[in-house]
Structure 1
Amino acid sequence: MASKESEAVRRHWVAARAAMEAGETSDQELADHRWAELTTEPDNVDYLRVPGRPALWIAPHNAAQDRVLFCLHGGGFVGGSRYSHRKLYAHLARAVGARALLFDYPLAPAHVYPAQLDDAVDTYHWLLDQGIAAEHILFTGDSAGGGMSITTQLRARTDGLPLPAGAMPFSPWVDFEATGASYETNRDRDEFFHRDLVRGLAFMFLGRDNSPRDPYVNPLYGDLTGLGPMYIQTGGDEVLLDDARQLAEAAEKAGVAATLDVFPEMQHTFQMAAGRAPEADDAIQRMARWARPVLRLR
């Protein structure tokens, strides 16, 4: 049974749907605050601005300086920022024992694909130029950022950049046509997302000239061969459940080691309740236990 504390995530999505239906979704600062208040402030973590970039270094005390989580925030490509998600990724970085880089990419509808992917690849290139070895970098991301944790690798490889050690997408959004059966089976359980909403977000992201089957948009159409291992988490009650399942299946078919972890009764990106809900804290610890050996951390 879901904990009482995890109900904060459910209430968040109920409120988000009400705000959307009331036309109150244009205030990005307010939306970021609503995201951020789900997560408690972790102890013993510093946040450092990156000169010349809309990014934060998340630096847990006593973390390894040469191991980095490359963090791609969610928000349907229309919202989210380093401020809305900094505490979530701070909990994760502290649990792993590594630094994290969290950055803002351009948002739709003002900026359509491939602006977001271009920025993610450029930021990864910049990180490599700081002297961090690719095998010491682990990609992670939630929702839209979860999908980009895979597509950024595909584009980076095409651009001649080395691949990171692996990826930890959670509640990943990869199917921009919203074809999964979970859109029906979880229709009455998911408090916010539904097929028409997801397709509307996809249209804002893609614009009129880009295909939802572009392999740099939907990695299910890409060549995943040679990518590092994946650990994928998803909520059992979210309509994007099949996105996670399909990603794990596609990875395995390509010979990529993929672990899928489904958390019963949990909503989309329930990990945002880190420090508040036991399910979120458990999820963070599971990611950390998986990540440390991949990054060769003790």
Structure 2
Amino acid sequence: MTQQQRRDLDELLRHGPLDVGGDIAEQRAVFHEMTASVPLPEDVSATHGELGGVPVITVETPANDPSVVLLYFHGGAYALGSAPDSVGLAADVSRRAGARVVSVDYRLAPEHPFPAALDDAVAAYRALLDQGVPSTRIAFVGESAGGGLVVATLVALRDADQPQPSSAALFSPWVDLTVSGASATTKAALDPALTPQALRTRARDYLGERDTATPLASPVFADLTGLPPLLIQVGSHEILLDDALRLASRAAYHDVAVELQVWPEVPHVFQGFAALLDDADRALNAAAAFLTRAWAA
């Protein structure tokens, strides 16, 4: 059944309307329509608010432990997506980890180029600390560009002598805006969702004339010393496979506890398809177990 599920998901994505590198206004609407088409379970609450002046959505499910928080960063190549669009996957993570999720609605490019998203992420985390939530009871979760933003935020916090959260889980992180990993070429025919050109277009929107290897935009080039334990999940059928592999290697080189999970024959951010794909269900359970182990430790 799993093999058929993988084929069905591949077909769904290949024939879907989303073009990550396309017209921003059109693709933002497409992204929203795709996520809004899946209704939330009735027991999920999503409340708009702000942290440190940054818009957020707090997502809660019935069994949440109020003492722990997942700070969540959505995907969308820094130009698409939003906290409201991320509520479905955030709620799934919330339920499995037993924690409330605060999804950060960071500013998007090209209207708000680098480092706007990073500044918003840091501000939201600092506001959580100011509310009295201990850093040891906070974890970060990010998907795609949100995964890259997680790592960049951790590096920025370390450089500012701010306490690190307990851990971070990254789903198909985009951590190399130079798009120079070998899998950008070798996996291009297998990836039903992303193309190298689309990522290069969005990287330029985000960075303008800045060097795409800027460590706080492309944290695969950063010194990762002092970061908390990381879980990296990636599919073998995505052009960002090498981003995950190189990030795990760099984290290990800098003495960071890191777990890398490569899930065979699945696409980018496959965790968002748990209703269709057994692999996604298992991956989310593994991520929840990782996060709760870090809180317990």
If the length of structure 1 is used for normalisation, what is the TM-score? Answer: 0.91
Structure 1 residue 46 corresponds to structure 2 residue 45: yes
Amino acid at match of 1:238: E
Amino acid at match of 1:220: V
Deviations 1:56-99 (A, max 9, x none): 11112121111111100000011111121101011011100111
Residues 19 and 291 (structure 1), Cα distance of their counterparts in 2 relative to 1, 3 Å cut:
closer
Residues 19 and 160 (structure 1), Cα distance of their counterparts in 2 relative to 1, 3 Å cut:
closer
Partner in structure 2 of residue 271 of structure 1: 271
Deviations 1:248-281 (A, max 9, x none): 0000000011111111111111111133322211
Q: How many residues align?
A: 294
Q: CA deviation at 1:201?
A: 1.2
Q: CA deviation at 1:29?
A: 3.6
Contact 1:6 1:279 survives alignment (8 Å): no
Q: Secondary structure at the match of 1:157?
A: helix
In structure 2, distance between residues paired with 1:186 and 1:130 = 44
Structure 1 residue 170 corresponds to structure 2 residue 163: no
Residues 219 and 69 (structure 1), Cα distance of their counterparts in 2 relative to 1, 3 Å cut:
same
After TM superposition, the structure 1 stretch with the greater mean CA deviation from structure 2, 90-99 or 42-51, is: 42-51
Amino acid at match of 1:240: L
Contact 1:151 1:217 survives alignment (8 Å): yes
Partner in structure 2 of residue 116 of structure 1: 117
Q: Where do 1:1-298 residues align within 5 Å?
A: 1-4=2-5, 7-8=8-9, 10-16=11-17, 26=26, 28-37=28-37, 41-42=40-41, 44-50=43-49, 53-208=54-209, 210-296=210-296
Contact 1:174 1:220 survives alignment (8 Å): yes
4+ residue segments displaced more than 6 Å: 18-21
If the length of structure 2 is used for normalisation, what is the TM-score? Answer: 0.92
Deviations 1:125-178 (A, max 9, x none): 111111111111111100000011110011122223211111101100011111
Contact 1:3 1:278 survives alignment (8 Å): no
After TM superposition, the structure 1 stretch with the greater mean CA deviation from structure 2, 176-185 or 73-82, is: 176-185
Amino acid at match of 2:121: A
Residues 114 and 64 (structure 1), Cα distance of their counterparts in 2 relative to 1, 3 Å cut:
same
Contact 2:46 2:59 survives alignment (8 Å): yes
Contact 1:135 1:164 survives alignment (8 Å): yes
Percent identity over the alignment? 34
Q: Secondary structure at the match of 2:262?
A: strand
Residues 71 and 12 (structure 1), Cα distance of their counterparts in 2 relative to 1, 3 Å cut:
same
Q: Secondary structure at the match of 1:184?
A: helix
Structure 1 residue runs of 5 or longer lacking an equivalent are: none
Residues 135 and 43 (structure 1), Cα distance of their counterparts in 2 relative to 1, 3 Å cut:
same
In structure 1, distance between residues paired with 2:11 and 2:248 = 26
Q: Secondary structure at the match of 2:232?
A: strand
Structure 2 residue runs of 5 or longer lacking an equivalent are: none
In structure 2, distance between residues paired with 1:19 and 1:78 = 9
Amino acid at match of 1:110: E
In structure 1, distance between residues paired with 2:231 and 2:21 = 32
Amino acid at match of 1:279: D
In structure 2, distance between residues paired with 1:6 and 1:133 = 43
Amino acid at match of 1:239: I
Q: CA deviation at 1:35?
A: 3.1
Contact 1:16 1:192 survives alignment (8 Å): no
In structure 2, distance between residues paired with 1:255 and 1:168 = 17
In structure 1, distance between residues paired with 2:19 and 2:115 = 30
Q: Which has the higher contact order (CA 8 A, sep 6+)?
A: 1
Amino acid at match of 1:154: V
Contact 2:17 2:30 survives alignment (8 Å): no
Residues 82 and 76 (structure 1), Cα distance of their counterparts in 2 relative to 1, 3 Å cut:
same
* RMSD between aligned residues: 2.1
